[in-house]
Amino acid sequence: MSSVDAPVADASRRPFRGRRLRLGDVLLQGVAGAAALGATVLLGLIAWKVVDGARPSLSKFGLGFITRIAWNPVPGHEIYGAASFLFGTAITSLVALLIAAPLAMGIALFLTELSPRLIRGPVTALVETLAAIPSVVIGLWGIIVLGPQLRLHVEPWLHKAFGFIPLFGTPSSSGASVFTAIVVLTIMILPIVSSITRELFLGVPHDLKEGALALGATRWEMTRGVVFPYARGGIAAALILGLGRAVGEAIAVTQVIGGGLLVSWNLFSTGDTLASKIANEYQSATSRLQSASLIYLALILLVFSLVMNVAAQVIVRRVSRRMGIGVSR
């Protein structure tokens, strides 16, 4: 956002001393300021409301909720815990990021260094269009097209070839599994990470790159030695933003992950993430404690996303200040 650093001519912003205040000026500044205040306060309001909604569960289970593997809504035996869903969120988002990161950087490299100029524009637009597809449509495609394909072809092969690794255990019986969710999440975060990385790579100064090439480096050596280190901070921010997106995705994941308490390392089993559990169960929640526990899950999700977002924004701002360019998403 270059607007953050663009120098504004101070003459038009310095208060006019001795000039009487016009009602219109006061009004506009007041109303606009109120809007800005409201936007900031909104964040605090969100945090407050979510804590408020989770209160019954917070007071009953406290922090032990976070480490307990349990989810039993049967009245009289109600007990809830987030650990299984934390595990689900961690395994789906991290593996998706692991797969998407090199692919995204490859795409960014392709679009900045390797591709012929003519196709650069259209291919960039196509990758960004992938980001525009709503998650519910990707989820629909995931249930009906991707899931069965994975179940019929990919999972048995992986199990046969790599079954000794606990990750690739018994293939799923329907298309719904953590594995399908991972593929879906990878598809969803790929465009975000690649578009940020692409802009970062575009911002690397030409003389640095050409200097390396002039010294005899191959293109890969130049990329590894100049582009990556220069863009290091921004790439970290891009990865964090992608991770944040994956962690927060509820709809597409709940459509393809199958549901249940995830307690195994087998990627082909079903399970739930924090977000998908909320989406799955909210409308059928029977007791106040169950609803409050679901909101407790949302609270954990909110804390995660706040921390990740603030970290990513701080990195982005520090990086763009250092490089003097705007990184816009």
Partner 1 sequence: MEAFATFAAVIAVGILVVVVWSVARRGAGALNLDLLTKDPVDFAFGNVKEGLANAFAGTIVLVGLATAMTLPVGILVAIYLNEFARASVRTGVSLALDVLNGVPAIVIGIFVFGLFVVGHGQSGFAGSFALACLMLPLVSRATMEILALVPNSLREASLALGVPRWRTTLSVVLPQTIGGIVTGTTLAVARVAGETAPLLFTSSIVGLRTSWNPHHALQSIPVAIFELSEQPDPADHARAWAAALVLLLFILFASLGARWLATRGRRKLTQR
Which residue's CB is nearer to partner 1, number 86 or number 301?
Answer: 301
Per CB under 8 A, the segment of 45-53, 61-69, 152-160, 202-210 that binds partner 1 is: 45-53
Quick one: 178 or 308, whose CB is closer to partner 1?
308
Site for partner 1 in 10-39 (CB under 8 A): 11-13, 22, 24-25, 27-29, 31-36, 38-39
Residues 140, 255 contacting (CB under 8 angstroms): yes
Nearest-CA neighbor of 143 among 185, 184, 171?
184
Contact at 8 Å (CB) between 103 and 198? no
**Residue 71 beta carbon to partner 1: minimum distance, rounded to whole angstroms:** 18
Tell me the C-alpha to C-alpha distance, in Å, between residue 215 and each of 202, 207, 219, 230: 21, 12, 11, 18
The burial of 228, by beta-carbon neighbours within 10 Å (0-12 exposed, 13-18 middle, 19 or more buried), is given as middle
Q: How far is the CB of 265 from partner 1 (least distance, A)?
A: 26
Q: Are 288 and 56 in contact (CB under 8 A)?
A: yes
The answer to whether the CB of 243 falls within 8 A of the CB of 186 is no
Q: Rounded to the nearest whole angstrom, what is the least distance from the CB of residue 77 to partner 1 in the complex? A: 25
152 touches partner 1 (CB under 8 A): no
Q: Which of 67, 72, 287, 313 binds partner 1 (CB under 8 A)?
A: 313
Q: CA 12 from chain center: how many Å?
A: 40
Please check whether residue 277 is in contact with residue 294, taking contact to mean a CB–CB distance below 8 angstroms. yes
The count of chain residues that interact with partner 1, using the rule CB under 8 A, is 98
Pick from 66, 90, 98, 136 the residue near partner 1 by CB under 8 A. Answer: 136
Q: Rule CB under 8 A: is residue 187 a binding residue for partner 1?
A: yes
The strand pair at 71-72 and 79-80 is best described as: antiparallel
Told to check if 77 binds partner 1 by CB under 8 A, we report no
| Binder of partner 1 out of 140, 208, 213, 285 (CB under 8 A) | 140
Kindly identify the residues of this chain, within the stretch 227-266, that bind partner 1 according to CB under 8 A. Answer: 241, 244, 247-251, 255
